[in-house]
Amino acid sequence: MWWSATRRRSPAEAELSGVAGSLSGMERLVLTAARPFELALSLRAMAGFAPCAGEQRVSGGVVRKAFALADGGAVVAEVAAAEGGVSLAVHGAGSADERDQVAVAVARWLSLDDDPAPFLAAARDDPPMAPVLAETEGLHQVRFAGLAEGASYFVLAQRTSQAQAGARKRRLAAEFGSSLELDGVRYQAFPTLDRLAGLSAGELAPFAANQRQAEYLAAVLDRLAGWAPDWGYRAPTAELLAELRRIRGVGEFTATGIALRVLGRLDVVPAELPVFTRAIATLYGPGVSMDDLVARYGGQIGLWGYHVRTGLAWLGSAVRPVRAGSSARRPPARASPSSPAG
């Protein structure tokens, strides 16, 4: 990823209700994205993602979201489509270093650097994926906006619905995080790991389903705060997963969720959840397993899962499940499957 300063305004920016005046004269960075990339698809995915419902404001093709700086203060990132990627303005940043912090966070949040070409090559050669790609081609994974937020969510989501876990996560942010008001709207940033590490299970209990979950959350936050800066983004995937599994309260659901949906490890096989069992049955029919899909998609299996889950939600009843007793539409095997990285 690279970025450059610009003062250009796109038509989409001018459409943002009640905000056009604030854009005038603001320095904007252009963050490049691996192609194909369509911000409109990312915004659509955000709108249907219950764990982060209401945590950003989208209007006229522009999204605003709060991010916490290293010192704990809050800024608001404003992202719009731009040629080759997205444009970014940072409200509340006091220095170029703070703008750069947010640029890195936004690029990770929107997975701008993730090259979708290997996944798309495999999916285009997989006929059952045709209706999904018709909806999602150009979509990059929208991740949790930071490690502290994503890790907290996946602990809070253990044996809990997405909506309940998301609500508890937002209460945690309101209690310990900072916020910034912009054009009459208050944007809440999720607190940093440094702010949350060291909190006792008792202090975290009001935000958890039970005492044990609070203890797990405290253990995860403390362990992750001890990582070297950006270690989770750089470590080999196998090493990362092994480290996560060593933390008290972290099983496969939490480890794979953090690795894939927070740290962007596309070679991580999605957790064995009913949603993927149903998706495989809908697209491929009986007799096809996740192992078959791993053999097909290799190091892109995580992106396959994201596109399938998102695309089927958008399609709704437009895709008719393969009926029991019909021939399975097994994904064609690749001549030399790519190995998962790490």
Mean pLDDT of the chain: 89
| Token representation of residue 204 | 């975290």
Judge whether 99 lies within some domain.
Answer: yes
Closest CA to 262 of 146, 340, 155: 146
CATH number for the domain that contains residue 57: 3.30.310.20
Domain count, the chain: 2
User: Domain limits at 104?
Assistant: 3-115
Of 63, 94, 115, the residue that ends a domain is 115
- The strand ranges marked E within the chain are 3-6, 28-32, 56-59, 62-68, 74-82, 85-91, 179-182, 185-188
Residue 84 has pLDDT above 50, yes or no: yes
Asked if residue 199 belongs to a domain, the reply is yes
Q: Which of 210, 231, 262 is the last residue of a domain?
A: 262
Percent of the chain past pLDDT 90, that is, above it, reads 82
| 3-state DSSP assignment of residue 79 | strand
Residues 91-136: tens digit of each pLDDT: 999 999 999 999 999 999 999 999 999 999 999 999 999 999 999 9
**Per-residue confidence (pLDDT) for residue 323, from 0 to 100:** 55
The shares of helix, strand and coil residues in the chain, as percent rounded to the nearest 5, are 50, 15, 40
Q: Are residues 99 and 177 in the same domain?
A: no
Residue 22 and residue 68 share a domain: yes
Residues 177/74, Cβ–Cβ less than 8 Å: yes
Q: Report residue 259's pLDDT band, with 50, 70 and 90 as the boundaries.
A: very high
Residues 18-31: what's their mean pLDDT?
A: 62
pLDDT-derived band at 19 (thresholds 50, 70, 90) equals: very low
- One domain for residues 58 and 109: yes
Both structure tokens of 11 = 């038509």
Shared domain for 92 and 178, answered yes or no, is no
pLDDT at res. 171: 98
The residue among 308 and 12 whose pLDDT is bigger is 308
Please indicate, yes or no, if residue 317 is contained in any of the structural domains.
no
- Structural domain contains residue 126: no
pLDDT digits (tens, 9 = 90+) for 173-202: 999 999 999 999 999 999 999 999 999 999
Crossing angle between the packed helical segments 301-315 and 274-284, to the nearest 10 degrees = 80
Are 243 and 154 found together in one domain? yes
Q: Are residues 30 and 81 in the same domain?
A: yes
Strands of the 3-6 sheet, one edge to the other: 3-6, 28-32, 85-91, 74-82, 62-68, 56-59
pLDDT band per the 50, 70, 90 thresholds, residue 231? very high
* pLDDT value of position 318: 73
My answer on whether 160 and 109 are in the same domain is no
**165 and 256 belong to one structural domain:** yes
| Average confidence (pLDDT) over 33-51 | 97
Predicted confidence band of residue 25 (pLDDT cuts 50, 70, 90): low
- The answer to whether residue 64 is domain-embedded is yes
Q: d(Cα 246, Cα 41) in Å, to the nearest integer?
A: 36
Q: Is residue 339 part of a domain?
A: no
CA dist 242 → 237, 245, 254, 320 (Å):
9, 5, 12, 39
- Report if residue 37 sits inside a domain: yes
Residue type (1 letter), 2: W
**Residue 67 domain-assigned (yes or no):** yes
Whether the pLDDT of residue 12 is over 50: the answer is no
Give the per-residue pLDDT at 26: 73
Domain of 214, CATH number, reads 1.10.340.30
pLDDT score of 5 more than 50: no
